Structure 1
């Protein structure tokens, strides 16, 4: 009996045929499903599609537009808040230029899963049907309206930079603090506003405010310094004052107030306010005082004792001094800022060439060198009195070798108080009576 068995080489052909048939069947099913899905939702929005959280799947674009216009009232009922510290401004989206377009939004939802090629469209349909998709609403944002609204806020927010300042009311110091400048950046704020409106939710929009710091914000310490300066009169003195020295001099508080100066100094972009007495005003006053303070050093005066052949002092020497006006200005202002109101002037002392301890041999004075006598026959008693008064001014004066002697440097003030009398003088080519008559005659008569 003969049995027929299938050949082994026919099996791969059968498997391949089965695989091809399966794949063909799968694609046929997919095509039928896709075509059926498209036919079912032809003219309607695919399942799982919503706009701003409103489900409009299965609706035609027209019906979806109606539903969106009835459901989404955000442009009119929504709240957008702007805040600046404790101040707030609240507006509806429509007041900020937002207009919702339900028709365009419905068409955007309808086109989801239908654009971008076959595979992209199918991917969108599957994504919407599975997890769902929320299509952004189509809105028209008229930035001109929003710009005008923000400009109104800027008039309340913006402020100019104010520098701190000091001023005087009489002798009272008034300090005014500085202020930061603030300016609302409209363009930057519009960007944040547009993003908030697109979300279709109530929310707060950040106001973009740019601040500009003043160069001087607080001058309270300078105000205290000014008050210290004006807290008491200023008294200036000659250092190491001796009997008969000039001063002290007092500057009352109102005088100091008139001299007070406020200046702003900038260094490497950093500004600093400085207060003190105005150097120019103080210089004028101190220059007047310098005429009283300055004095030439005075040598001691001597007489020669013929018996002992030594010199004997008859008037002590005096130390000279020169006032430094500029250094005194600095010393006064520094002292006032420390709260000190009694200040020594800056004075340099100059020792005399010959002090009252000098020895005759050191000066080369060991004997009488020469002697002269002048006679004034016929002079009136008053003229003789004037000559004697003038001679006292020169008694004991030392004249160094080669030195030019000037009587004007030594003669005292020609006045009745200094022992001078009225006598005939020549003035303007005429002979009249005047104090000190005869003194010039004596000078002319000296050899």
Structure 2
């Protein structure tokens, strides 16, 4: 009897459970059938209920919200007293898309997420913003323009050496930048909520963030680099990092500023790097009409250079006074060498001379270019004595030369070929550099400023046919080729001699100066080519002096040349042209 009673109770309990489940299922099905084409209850858009509405009704409700707000086509941005009007180009609110998003609440492919969203909607916790579209590219462009106006660059901390050789630390100044990401987010939030009130710009302060301890530690480190330097060598070229430059490579947070070292190394690489150059040679009617010397390609190993500079800095900081080191450079030979394109023995550069003509008038520059071009490509045979005047030929208007100022009978006057002596002076220096015997050379009557630009005094050679010539002899076993280069931008003239280097060495002493005499008073000369009253300086005062330098050439222990060149310069006054023309 007892067992029967328990069985009845169990069946009754199961019936109640099944009935309850059936009831819940009926409620669940009825609920979803009721909202099959409707938004679930509790969903709102900007606080306005769209629950229990189909898509069409919700669309109407949302459109009414938008229309009542009367959306603006602009937003005002402010920063202090500055204001900007931000054009909301092509702003279009999308009620249909917003209604669709509301209808999707509780209708995803995730049952648990659906249940959670329906529960939150029932509690009134789902309040959707409006969907909209606009020209984002135009908005971005306007924000970039505003960012440029707002931007204040940060002044980096700086280390300097003052006139008293004391280290000065400038802590820098903070900068200002527009927080474009946060501003874009704020604009989006305002538009989705139909809020067109002005927006205060959000900015980011960029600060050097140096502490007093960092400043003092850096000052102490910088003092260890005073009067020190790093010298980097590549064949005949050198680069120096002096104490002013070295302290710029210090990091305020200890160690060295790798970014600045890398930047300096990259700039150095751009000055050094070049591909290999194959030789070219064409000979026509006794003159070389095309010549290009073979050159090795050079490539600076930048990472090794960065490491080298960092290591050298560390050594200087540890009390080493100066460092001289070879740069790590990869050399790539050309495929065609100079020797392979000719049978005259012209293989390499054997001598170079340089002079500057800054301050020259246009006709003088023209004459320098013309004279240099007439000598370019000339060949000097073994044993031949080269004559400048003979090789240059007649200097007159009929051969293309213009009038420029020359020294004649103790006066500065307009004469044909003014500036030719710039060319002879440069070639004289080239012959000296090549170690050739100088057969004839005359110094100018007075010191000419052009020939002492970046040069020692006494290395000039005047020419005037037929009284003054520059002559030298090719005492090498092969031909010599003259090549000229003129850089009008930097007003620089270069002569090069190519041949075969036979191993001779050249020593040119420093110039010795004595018996100096002050210049006479300034000289003014009338010039009808200048307007009346105009004054033009064409010569600069120079002290008179006697100058000498020694020239010694050796080859395999034999002395080929051992002589002294003398120059006797008389004092020279500044010369001005005084206009007398109409």
Structure 2 length as normaliser, TM-score?
A: 0.30
Q: Quick check: which has more Rg, 1 or 2?
A: 1
Instruction: Choose between structure 1 and 2: higher strand proportion.
Output: 2
Instruction: Choose between structure 1 and 2: higher helix proportion.
Output: 1
